[in-house]
């Protein structure tokens, strides 16, 4: 057989591989309709519940469309523009620093993201799950103005805090704050009534401020208030609420359950008599609002309110909520009417389906345009085939045989004055077995009202509250949440508690004759991670952290360096400057986006190209600036970047001037790849080891402070240059400067950037992530050749995760430029928390399976964990068409047969994880990977791997199949019916399939079960 043709088995395997079409394709519409149903992934979009029943009984799995896997979170976070004065943040009631927490996610710093979230919102996970983001942060997203639409902020928030939750770290008070243990005012007794979102938020901030005698009283025997009792498990699991309460309790807050605000238990006057100096009331709206037509019916007839129905569902479906064996309300096969048009009504409707209801009607007085429910809630109810009946008002309940039979309703209309009226001539009778009233709630229990004495009430019969301080008519009593009369969402309740905490602090300190800052200063979220020391000593200099500003655009001026230091950067290398005789004038345009990441516009550029020269400012400007900066920033390190031609006198003069100005160290720019080399400077010196050797000797003779030679990657062997610098007395090297390149040519044949009317250009310096592999190679090669020799790494460092890679490869310090060009100086906060977390998590034995801050990937589809149907039906099934329906049926059968509380065990969040070994220092990480980086000859070709595909996670795209066929070894089959790929015995472990797979950990490389025998094509001839 011809060697240039595949064997028949491989030709068969290639049957679905793409081919260039030779003609137009002809398929009948009827055939396409059948095929469409087979491949359909978005379910049946038309038809009633009878035609396409959704198997939901006892199924309380996550239904939120916002939920994200790590893959989804990384992709979504990278879309974010991280806008200036971000409108999303201004639209958040708790003022979350949204762009910062999204930045941290995009950099795989999930602890840093959660820290940013929990600093402003102690219920950050709850709010990530239930916030009506379309009306809040997402509603202000600037990407609404683009075709791709706004960022899924709620999903990202949920993802980040869930990742932190799984780290099981305890909250601590800000360790930098002074101790208040001996100050009487901080021992004041504080009571919070109701353990709902407002109280949890208030108590958390009070504890962060240092108050040590804070008690939360809760009426029920479980915590969380409305979040636990009235938001279903499929939207907000109980373990989320308990996790946030545990974080609060980490700070010493006490919780007493079974204690109610009532004339029979807790009263405001009683608490005052017991010595409580301040009280926060956050009990929500405890009583349902009902139409008088329901006065003669109750639960025995089939009439329920949201206040009775949702808690009964919650107790039967939320593991860990209560120590009971509550069964789900039995609505098997029934018709249910839900009255109301708010979020609570949607929760009642979707919960009724999970109680076995066959049909659910959502009936409301006004039209769709007047519904109070947010789109996120409505979408779920519509997807689950609840029927919506607008413009109807209940008039009469029909009861037969002691059970509800039907409900008579009349048509409502809006008159010309805007008033809603009921038209008695238009009447509808709707048969139903159950009616759930979700018309809102209020405060009507006189036992509670009496317990609130002596508070004054407003015209809505609620406590009168100052919305700016949350203070009531009694200065020592504060109120928040629904009861305060303004809040409509969980996040607003959280902010009420946050707002109240500061004003309670002000009030309590004033009682003891003490003042507080004029501007509120609420402490942020902290754990032991934040106490990790990142300082590192290099060349006898102590750096507060290893992250610094590279000698580039971020250090264009001294005021910019000042702002960088204020943001937290550990050191800065000035923009390169020379003697006055070498002053330059730049051209424009000169800094352009890269083409290496395709059509990515805005931030997130993987590369930049610049033809900018050294600083246009004088040496005197920089020397005076260095002196000023060192006077104001004692801890941070200033490195002066200098450049001269190959002349000893010039290097001696400039080096001495810089040392005299107070520079901590020097960086000798021997590597600028454009412009300066033509003047006999920069690259012209740095490519010749003899010139590097001599320049380093000159500078060593001139100054006593340390200096580093900045190397160019535009050489055959960078190690030779590094050795020359080392021999010349340099205290270390910087590796590397930009890579000389041409970014692209336009269709007009003009390159970009093009200068002047002639549209001329030159080879510029490529920077950013695109050159990271080159920089890593340079750093590791120098690290191996000169063990322990200080290396300042630069080239594609855009996160703590990447910074750690450079440290492992031998870097001592990390210089950053392109990442700042993509965003701003505040990135350093993410880098610092990210590296601290990486160091801390390494010390926790329970997290050894984690890869940095990424936990092992659970099996999932659409970001949600999935049930393995292979165990149920005996084979894997894809997630489309008839197979998806079979999966649903299999899952539905298993769910329906088991009560929700028996399907899962409650999660535990305490005790928290603690280090089982000392936390590594930055110094201990330097060069840890070098003993595993070597020559090809060091590699073992007897230890082979093969690919393994997880069919449950596969999304059936066939990318692995195509890549293996056209770029590999034709070792993957692709089923024509199921589109499930399968690895054959021909797999050589090349790993290209894993490299192109769009789903994290869907493909893994595992040990080859048999010895690897290469296919030689033609048998090797025996040697005689």
List, for residues 14-29, the tens digit of each pLDDT value.
999 999 999 999 999 9
Please answer whether residues 795 and 812 qualify as being in contact, where contact means their C-beta atoms are separated by less than 8 angstroms: no
| pLDDT given for residue 52 in this prediction | 47
CA distance 324 to 332: 22
Give the number of other CB atoms < 10 A from CB of residue 932.
Answer: 8
CA distance 982 to 935: 34
| pLDDT given for residue 47 in this prediction | 54
Q: Can you state the percent helix, strand and coil of the chain, rounding each to 5? A: 35, 15, 45
Query: What percentage of the chain has pLDDT greater than the value 70?
Result: 99
CA distance 641 to 282: 59
For residue 944, give both structure tokens: 């082979």
The 3-class secondary structure across 407-470, one letter per residue, is EEEEEEEECCCCCEEEEEEEEEEEECCEEEECCCEECCCHHHHHHCCCCCECCCCCECCECCCC
**Bridging pattern class, strands 764-767 and 739-741:** antiparallel
| pLDDT given for residue 50 in this prediction | 52
Sequence-ordered alpha helix ranges (H) in 900-991: 922-925, 959-967
Q: What is the DSSP letter of 98?
A: H
Sequence-ordered alpha helix ranges (H) in 459-584: 490-511, 558-567
| pLDDT given for residue 271 in this prediction | 97
For residue 136, give both structure tokens: 């809040």
List, for residues 61-112, the tens digit of each pLDDT value.
888 989 999 999 999 999 999 999 999 999 999 999 999 999 999 999 999 9
Q: Which among 512, 485, 516 has a CA at the least distance from the CA of 501?
A: 516
Q: For the whole model, what pTM was predicted? A: 0.95
| pLDDT given for residue 962 in this prediction | 97
List, for residues 868-899, the tens digit of each pLDDT value.
777 667 778 898 999 988 888 888 887 888 88
Does 42 score more than 90 pLDDT?
Answer: no
Residue in the structure block whose two tokens are 């048999």: 1010
Q: Which among 215, 189, 190, 262 has a CA at the least distance from the CA of 452?
A: 262
| pLDDT given for residue 908 in this prediction | 86
List, for residues 623-666, the tens digit of each pLDDT value.
999 999 999 999 999 999 999 999 999 999 999 999 999 999 99
H/E stretch holding 609 reads strand 608-610
Characterize 322-357 residue by residue with b for buried, 16 or more Cβ atoms within 10 angstroms of its Cβ, and e for exposed: beeebebbebeebbbbbbbbbbbbbbbbbbbbbbbb
If you average pLDDT over every residue of the chain, what do you get? 94
Q: What is the DSSP letter of 266?
A: B
Does 51 score more than 60 pLDDT?
Answer: no
- Return the bridge partners of 667, or none: 641, 708
**Least confident span in 120-124, 137-141, 369-373, 921-925:** 369-373
Quickly state the pLDDT bin for 1 (edges 50, 70, 90): low
Burial of 157 by CB count in 10 Å (0-12 exposed, 13-18 middle, 19+ buried)? buried
- The mean pLDDT of 508-531, rounded to a whole number, is 96
Residue in the structure block whose two tokens are 């219920």: 123
Quickly state the pLDDT bin for 44 (edges 50, 70, 90): low
Phi, psi of 305 (to 5 degrees): -115, 165
The 3-class secondary structure across 758-800, one letter per residue, is CCECCCEEEECHHHHHHHHHHHHHHHHHCCCCCEEEECCCCCH
User: Which long-range CB contacts under 8 A does 980-989 form with residues at least 24 apart?
Assistant: 980/876, 980/878, 980/951, 980/954, 980/956, 981/949, 981/954, 982/949, 983/946, 983/947, 983/948, 983/949, 984/13, 986/1015, 987/946, 987/947, 988/944, 988/946, 988/1012, 988/1014, 989/944, 989/945, 989/946, 989/947
- Return the bridge partners of 754, or none: none
Task: Please tell me whether residue 94 adopts helix, strand or coil conformation.
Answer: coil
H/E stretch holding 1017 reads none
Does 45 score more than 60 pLDDT?
Answer: no
List, for residues 963-984, the tens digit of each pLDDT value.
999 999 999 999 999 999 999 9
* Cα-to-chain-centroid distance, residue 615: 38
End-to-end CA distance of the chain: 27
Does 48 score more than 60 pLDDT?
Answer: no
- Whole-angstrom CA distances from 560 to 569, 572, 635, 827 are 12, 10, 17, 14
Q: Which of 141, 202, 386, 672 is catalytic?
A: 672
**672 counts as catalytic:** yes
């Amino acid at each position: 057989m011809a060697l240039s043709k595949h064997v028949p088995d491989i030709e068969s395997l290639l049957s679905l591989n793409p081919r260039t079409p030779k003609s137009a394709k002809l398929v009948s519409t009827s055939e396409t309709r059948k095929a469409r149903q087979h491949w359909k992934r978005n379910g049946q979009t038309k038809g009633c519940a009878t035609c396409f029943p959704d198997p939901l009984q006892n199924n309380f799995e996550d239904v939120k469309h916002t939920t994200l896997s790590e893959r989804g979170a990384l992709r979504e976070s990278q879309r974010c523009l991280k806008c200036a004065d971000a409108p999303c943040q201004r639209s958040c009631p708790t003022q979350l620093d949204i762009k910062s927490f999204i930045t941290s996610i995009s950099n795989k710093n999930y602890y840093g993201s959660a820290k940013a979230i929990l600093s402003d919102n102690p219920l950050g996970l709850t709010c990530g799950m239930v916030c009506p983001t379309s009306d809040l942060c997402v509603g202000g997203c600037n990407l609404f103005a683009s075709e791709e639409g706004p960022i899924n902020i709620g999903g990202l928030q949920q993802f980040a805090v869930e990742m932190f939750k799984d780290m099981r770290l305890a909250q601590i008070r800000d360790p930098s704050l002074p101790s208040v243990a001996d100050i009487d005012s901080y021992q004041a007794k504080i009571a919070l009534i109701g353990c709902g979102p407002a109280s949890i938020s208030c108590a958390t901030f009070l504890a962060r401020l240092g108050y040590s005698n804070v008690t939360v009283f809760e009426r029920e025997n479980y915590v969380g208030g409305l979040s636990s009792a009235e938001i279903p498990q499929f939207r907000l699991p109980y373990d989320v609420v308990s996790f946030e309460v545990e974080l609060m309790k980490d700070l010493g807050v006490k919780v007493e359950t079974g204690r109610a605000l009532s004339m029979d238990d807790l009263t405001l006057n009683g608490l005052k008599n017991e010595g409580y100096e301040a009280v926060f009331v956050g009990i929500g709206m405890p009583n349902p609002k009902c139409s008088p037509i329901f006065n003669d019916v109750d639960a025995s007839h089939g009439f329920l309110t949201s206040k009775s129905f949702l808690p009964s569902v919650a107790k039967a479906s939320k593991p860990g909520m209560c120590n009971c064996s509550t069964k789900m309300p039995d609505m098997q096969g029934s018709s249910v009417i839900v009255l109301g048009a708010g979020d609570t009504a949607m929760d009642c409707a979707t919960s009724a389906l999970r109680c076995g209801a066959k049909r659910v009607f959502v009936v409301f007085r006004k039209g769709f345009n007047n519904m109070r429910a947010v789109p996120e809630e409505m979408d779920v109810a519509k997807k689950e085939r609840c029927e919506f009946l607008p413009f109807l008002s209940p008039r009469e309940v029909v009861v037969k045989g002691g059970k509800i039979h039907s409900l008579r309703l009349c048509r409502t209309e809006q008159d010309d004055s805007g008033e809603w009226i009921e038209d008695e001539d238009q009447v509808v009778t709707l048969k139903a077995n159950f009616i759930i009233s979700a018309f809102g709630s209020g405060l009507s229990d006189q036992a509670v009202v009496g317990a609130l004495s002596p508070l004054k009430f407003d015209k809505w019969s609620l406590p009168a509250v100052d919305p700016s301080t949350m203070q009531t008519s009694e200065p020592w009593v504060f109120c928040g949440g629904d009861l305060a009369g303004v809040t409509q969402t969980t996040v607003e309740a959280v902010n009420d508690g946050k707002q109240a905490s500061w004003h309670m602090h002000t009030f309590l300190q004033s009682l003891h004759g003490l003042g507080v800052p004029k501007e509120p200063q609420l402490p942020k979220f902290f754990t032991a991670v934040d106490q990790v020391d990142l300082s590192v000593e290099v060349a006898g200099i102590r750096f507060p952290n290893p992250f610094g500003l590279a000698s580039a655009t971020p250090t264009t001026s001294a005021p910019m360096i000042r702002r960088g230091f204020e943001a937290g950067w550990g050191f800065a290398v000035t923009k390169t400057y020379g003697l006055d005789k070498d002053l330059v004038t730049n051209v424009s345009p000169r800094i352009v986006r890269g083409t290496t990441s395709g059509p990515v516009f805005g931030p997130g550029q993987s590369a930049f190209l610049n033809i900018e020269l050294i600083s246009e400012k004088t040496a005197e400007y920089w020397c005076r600036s260095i002196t000023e900066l060192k006077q104001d920033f004692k801890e941070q390190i200033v490195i002066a970047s200098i450049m001269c031609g190959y002349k000893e006198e010039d290097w001696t003069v400039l080096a001495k001037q810089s040392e005299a100005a107070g520079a901590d160290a020097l960086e000798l720019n021997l590597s600028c790849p454009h412009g300066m080399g033509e003047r006999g400077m920069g690259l012209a010196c740095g490519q010749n080891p003899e010139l590097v050797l001599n320049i380093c000797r000159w500078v060593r003779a001139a100054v006593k402070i340390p200096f580093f030679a900045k190397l160019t990657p535009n050489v055959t062997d960078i190690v030779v240059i590094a050795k020359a610098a080392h021999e010349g007395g340099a205290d270390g090297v910087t590796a590397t400067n930009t890579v000389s390149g041409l970014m692209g040519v336009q269709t007009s044949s003009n390159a970009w950037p093009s200068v002047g009317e002639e549209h001329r250009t030159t080879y510029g310096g490529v920077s950013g992530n695109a050159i990271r592999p080159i920089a890593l190679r340079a750093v590791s090669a120098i690290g191996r050749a000169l063990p322990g020799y200080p290396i300042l790494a630069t080239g594609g460092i855009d996160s703590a995760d990447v910074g750690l890679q450079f440290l492992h490869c031998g870097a001592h310090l990390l210089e950053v430029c392109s990442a700042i060009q993509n965003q701003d100086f505040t990135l350093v906060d993410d880098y610092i928390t990210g590296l601290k977390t990486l160091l801390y998590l390494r010390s926790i034995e329970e997290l050894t399976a984690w890869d940095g801050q990424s936990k092992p990937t659970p099996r999932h589809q659409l970001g949600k964990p999935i049930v393995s149907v292979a165990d149920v039906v005996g084979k894997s099934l894809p997630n489309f068409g008839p197979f998806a329906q079979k999966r649903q049926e299999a899952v539905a059968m298993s769910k329906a047969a088991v009560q929700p509380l028996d399907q899962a065990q409650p999660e535990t969040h305490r005790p928290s994880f603690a280090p089982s070994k000392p936390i590594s220092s930055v110094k201990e990480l330097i060069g840890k990977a070098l003993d595993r980086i070597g020559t090809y000859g060091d590699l073992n070709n007897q230890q082979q791997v093969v690919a393994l595909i997880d069919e449950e996670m596969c999304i059936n795209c066939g990318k692995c199949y195509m890549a293996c066929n056209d770029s590999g070894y034709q070792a993957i089959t692709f089923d024509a019916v199921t589109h499930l790929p399968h690895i054959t015995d021909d797999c050589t472990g090349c790993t290209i399939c894993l490299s192109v797979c769009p789903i994290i950990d869907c493909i893994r490389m595992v040990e080859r079960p048999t010895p690897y025998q290469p296919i030689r094509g033609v048998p090797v001839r025996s040697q005689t």
